[in-house]
Amino acid sequence: MTLRDVVITGVGAVTPLGVGARTLHERWTAGNSGIQGGEAPCADFDPTEHMSAKQARRADRSTQLAIAAGNEALSDAGWADGLPYEPELIGCVLGTGIGGISTLETNHDQLRDTGPGSVSPLAVPLMMSNAGSAALSLQHGLRGPVFSVVSACAAGTHAIGTALRMIQHGEAEAVVTGAAEAPLTPLSRACFEKMGAISPTGVSRPFDARRDGFVMGEGSGVLVLEAGDAARARGARILGTVRGYGASGDAHHITAPHAEGRGGARAMQVALRDAGVDPDEVDYINAHGTSTQLNDRAETRALKTVFNGRAGVIPVSSTKSAIGHLLGAAGAVEAVATTLALRDRIAPPTIGWEEAEEGLDLDYVAGSSRPLEMSNGRPPVALSNSFGFGGHNASLCLEAA
């Protein structure tokens, strides 16, 4: 069975670098950071600029971010004036790590302070982890398969991989996919701090010897994926191709990655095999690169396993150096950033990387952006990695148009 190729025709993002996928790409590429005071909020985001008052009231902040990124992605794909396919053939798969946690916290406060009668009738639809895909489906009339996936910090990448499969197998002509997260709440902050995951110095410097944890951020990334033949037939502008996807489970520890990055390496190998891409043909790696001691060491080892001696010459950078860790949304935002980086043939920097550590000796794109160097004029190819608590690993193989 020949699988259909799957292309990216639209991207949208709301991130700590601002509203818009191009804003993310241009500001990260220029070396700007969206981190302030040890966190990475979407400070410029005003939900009322992107949706009606009713829609905003019926959406947790995580869903509001998804709605705004989704509107941008559909418009970018040229869908603003109507869907190009039968609604039944357009799916929506979004990821999230913890869904509507601010809604949960607010309603728990109400329950404790004034009793069960005072909780909101909107609490369930706001806090449910599938609220994001439901909201985009409702707003745009998407009637194909619609659901959300939950796999901690790998959710966005799993969502896009799932969307790829749906189109490859003819379940949908197009899928609106990505992820959203809004975890900057007192409970979530305290919980991640208590487990020692958050940087006490408030600095995100992936792969640097001084790294001491991640900086938590919020945001959303959404991509419109279409069957390549259908997109070409309608004359769509094509930004890139999702060449392959691989996923694996560590079965090692509830939070720590396997020290050798065994599961992460396997996810990358499966993605490359799925893409029919040789490791020698990979031009750029968008790393998970969280700025935690364990991830960055294990991921570096995994990259050495996958790319052998070539690991040291492939540019590897982490979007989290610019926007912190968006948890479940990270993989989706990073897929958006990688798509635009490949389009412009550029490797954005790992901002703040200065000090090498023994064993962490890859090319982390220190300092500033750099042009991607391809040997034979073919479109550049990248891997985008995501690894989640629970030992969930996922990797996407993306190619420029």
Looking only at the bridges linking them, the beta strands covering 146-149 and 90-95 are parallel
Using the minimum distance from each CB to other proteins, give the nearer residue, 57 or 234. 57
3-state secondary structure of 163: helix
Instruction: Tell me the closest approach of the beta carbon of residue 116 to other proteins, in angstroms.
Output: 12
Distance CA 327, CA 260 (A): 22
Using the minimum distance from each CB to other proteins, give the nearer residue, 54 or 112. 54
Instruction: Tell me the closest approach of the beta carbon of residue 126 to other proteins, in angstroms.
Output: 10
Q: List the one residue from 37, 115, 116, 117 that touches other proteins (CB under 8 A).
A: 117
Using the minimum distance from each CB to other proteins, give the nearer residue, 122 or 187. 122
SS (H, E, C) 324-380: CECHHHHHHHHHHHHHHHHHCCEECCCCCCCCCECCECCECCCCCCEECCCCCCCCC
- Across 96-218, the runs of DSSP E, i.e. the strands, are 146-149, 174-181
Using the minimum distance from each CB to other proteins, give the nearer residue, 122 or 256. 122
Distance CA 356, CA 358 (A): 7
- Contact by Cβ (8 Å): 185, 22: no
Tell whether residue 194 is a contact of other proteins (CB under 8 A): no
Using the minimum distance from each CB to other proteins, give the nearer residue, 58 or 165. 58
How many chain residues interact with other proteins (CB under 8 A)?
Answer: 13
Place of tokens 């790998």: 154
Distance CA 283, CA 263 (A): 22
Distance CA 355, CA 208 (A): 5
Tell whether residue 116 is a contact of other proteins (CB under 8 A): no
Using the minimum distance from each CB to other proteins, give the nearer residue, 122 or 356. 122
Tokens of 247: 């996923």
Tokens of 253: 């520890």
Judged by CB under 8 A, the stretch of 119-127, 160-168, 281-289, 371-379 that binds other proteins is 119-127
Binding letters toward other proteins, positions 234-263, x by CB under 8 A: ------------------------------
Q: List the one residue from 83, 122, 138, 209 that touches other proteins (CB under 8 A).
A: 122
Using the minimum distance from each CB to other proteins, give the nearer residue, 23 or 55. 55
Q: List the one residue from 30, 86, 88, 118 that touches other proteins (CB under 8 A).
A: 118
Instruction: Tell me the closest approach of the beta carbon of residue 56 to other proteins, in angstroms.
Output: 8
Instruction: Tell me the closest approach of the beta carbon of residue 74 to other proteins, in angstroms.
Output: 22
Q: List the one residue from 115, 116, 121, 235 that touches other proteins (CB under 8 A).
A: 121
Instruction: Tell me the closest approach of the beta carbon of residue 125 to other proteins, in angstroms.
Output: 8
- Site residues for other proteins, 42-81, by CB under 8 A, read 52-58
Distance CA 345, CA 362 (A): 20
Smallest CA-to-CA distance from 40 within 262, 240, 230, 325 is with 325
Tell whether residue 120 is a contact of other proteins (CB under 8 A): yes
Instruction: Tell me the closest approach of the beta carbon of residue 54 to other proteins, in angstroms.
Output: 3
What does residue 256 show for φ and ψ, rounded to 5 degrees?
-75, 140
Instruction: Tell me the closest approach of the beta carbon of residue 99 to other proteins, in angstroms.
Output: 19
Q: Which residues are catalytic?
A: 153, 288, 325
Judged by CB under 8 A, the stretch of 69-77, 115-123, 232-240, 356-364 that binds other proteins is 115-123
What does residue 15 show for φ and ψ, rounded to 5 degrees?
-140, 170
Instruction: Tell me the closest approach of the beta carbon of residue 110 to other proteins, in angstroms.
Output: 10
Distance CA 130, CA 155 (A): 12
Distance CA 153, CA 127 (A): 18
Distance CA 75, CA 10 (A): 7
Tokens of 213: 């944890």
Q: How many CB atoms lie within 10 A of CB 310?
A: 13
Residues facing residue 397 across a β-bridge:
244, 383
Using the minimum distance from each CB to other proteins, give the nearer residue, 46 or 373. 46
Encoded amino acid at 344, one letter: D
Name the residues that contact other proteins, by CB under 8 A: 52-58, 117-118, 120-122, 125
